[in-house]
């Protein structure tokens, strides 16, 4: 696998949420708005990349039998650091995400990548894997967040929780609020939104697989016809001779 493939695989092909269904707790709990989704995604990118780098660096020193507790301590350290940084520099996001920041420790995506990739590969590859998978996770959260916020409130709000959208809040109202389906920003809406997006993704995948099968059938049929024609031509030549 090239470095580019390693980086891009997390976006669609091996997307943690849409394909592997990993890290579903934050995917359902913090995606009520675009900004909280993006904020959680950024925190996961940091923790995943850093923990992958450290685990890959020390993989040869950690005895096999104690690798899981060792990985968890490393991941928990980065989660604690990220929690402090969020409380210090993005306090509104910290309050909004609440208990879901410490819960990053038990996000199976992070331990999964540590076990499946970082513990077996070199530092650079592990860093790329962590970054790619983290960005893929963020992409999925943001898609769900935009979908839910847009349908639930009729627009998108910026600058409420994240400091880098500027000092003032911006509300991009597309549909009048009275036509919004409020239940999409509530807990049941999270499951339904995720279900719709997963169905769309699976539909696309099924269509692609069907097209691939049809294409391979067509190629086989063409080859068969070519072989038959060759056989006929050979028989005619033999007859003529």
Whichever of 114 and 135 has its CB closer to another protein, that residue is 114
Instruction: Provide the minimum distance between the beta carbon of 19 and another protein in the complex, in angstroms, as a whole number.
Output: 31
209 binds another protein (CB under 8 A): no
87 binds another protein (CB under 8 A): yes
Residues in 89-118 that interact with another protein by CB under 8 A = 89, 91, 95
**Percent helix / strand / coil, the chain, rounded to 5:** 75, 5, 20
Contact residue for another protein among 1, 66, 178, 241 (CB under 8 A): 66
73 binds another protein (CB under 8 A): yes
Contact residue for another protein among 70, 142, 181, 196 (CB under 8 A): 70
Using CA atoms, how far residue 44 sits from 51, 54, 81, 104, in Å, is: 10, 15, 12, 7
Contact residue for another protein among 1, 2, 88, 178 (CB under 8 A): 88
What separation, in Å, do the N-terminal and C-terminal C-alpha atoms of the chain show? 54
Q: In the numeric block, which tokens belong to residue 121?
A: 């590969």
84 binds another protein (CB under 8 A): yes
Tracing tokens 């060759």 back to the chain, one arrives at 230
63 binds another protein (CB under 8 A): yes
167 binds another protein (CB under 8 A): no
Q: In the numeric block, which tokens belong to residue 13?
A: 């092909």
For residues 78 and 105, what is the distance between their CA atoms, to the nearest angstrom? 9
Site string for another protein, 172-191 (x = CB under 8 A): --------------------
Residue spans of alpha helices (H) in the chain: 3-8, 24-29, 34-57, 67-89, 91-97, 108-113, 123-153, 187-240
Handedness of CA 24, 138, 116, 8 (dihedral sign): positive
Instruction: Provide the minimum distance between the beta carbon of 84 and another protein in the complex, in angstroms, as a whole number.
Output: 4
Q: How many residues bind another protein (CB under 8 A)?
A: 21
Tracing tokens 């696998």 back to the chain, one arrives at 1
Instruction: Provide the minimum distance between the beta carbon of 95 and another protein in the complex, in angstroms, as a whole number.
Output: 8
Strands 155-158 and 170-173: antiparallel
Whichever of 2 and 60 has its CB closer to another protein, that residue is 60
Q: In the numeric block, which tokens belong to residue 198?
A: 């997963």
What is the contact surface with another protein in residues (CB under 8 A)?
Answer: 58, 61-63, 65-66, 69-70, 73-74, 76-77, 80-81, 84-85, 87-89, 91, 95
């Amino acid at each position: 696998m090239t470095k580019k493939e390693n980086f891009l695989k997390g976006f669609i092909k091996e997307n943690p949420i849409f394909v592997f269904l990993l890290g579903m707790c934050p995917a359902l709990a913090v995606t009520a708005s675009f900004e909280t989704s993006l904020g959680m995604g950024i925190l996961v990118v940091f923790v995943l990349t850093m923990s992958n780098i450290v685990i890959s660096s020390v993989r040869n020193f950690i005895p096999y039998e104690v690798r899981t507790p060792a990985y968890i301590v490393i991941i928990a350290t980065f989660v604690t650091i990220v929690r402090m940084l969020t409380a210090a520099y993005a306090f509104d996001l910290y309050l909004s995400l609440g208990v879901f920041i410490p819960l990053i420790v038990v996000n199976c995506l992070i331990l999964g990548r540590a076990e499946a990739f970082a513990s077996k590969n070199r530092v650079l590859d592990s860093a790329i894997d962590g970054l790619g998978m983290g960005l893929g996770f963020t992409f999925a959260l943001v898609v769900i967040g935009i979908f839910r916020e847009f349908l639930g409130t009729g627009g998108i709000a910026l600058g409420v929780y994240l400091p880098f959208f500027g000092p003032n809040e911006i509300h991009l109202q597309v549909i009048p609020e009275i036509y919004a389906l409020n239940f999409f920003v509530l807990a049941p809406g999270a499951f339904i939104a995720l279900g719709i997006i997963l169905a769309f993704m699976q539909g696309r995948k099924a269509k692609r697989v069907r097209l691939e099968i049809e294409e391979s059938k067509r190629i086989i049929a063409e080859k068969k016809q070519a072989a038959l024609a060759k056989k006929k031509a050979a028989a005619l030549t033999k007859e003529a001779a």
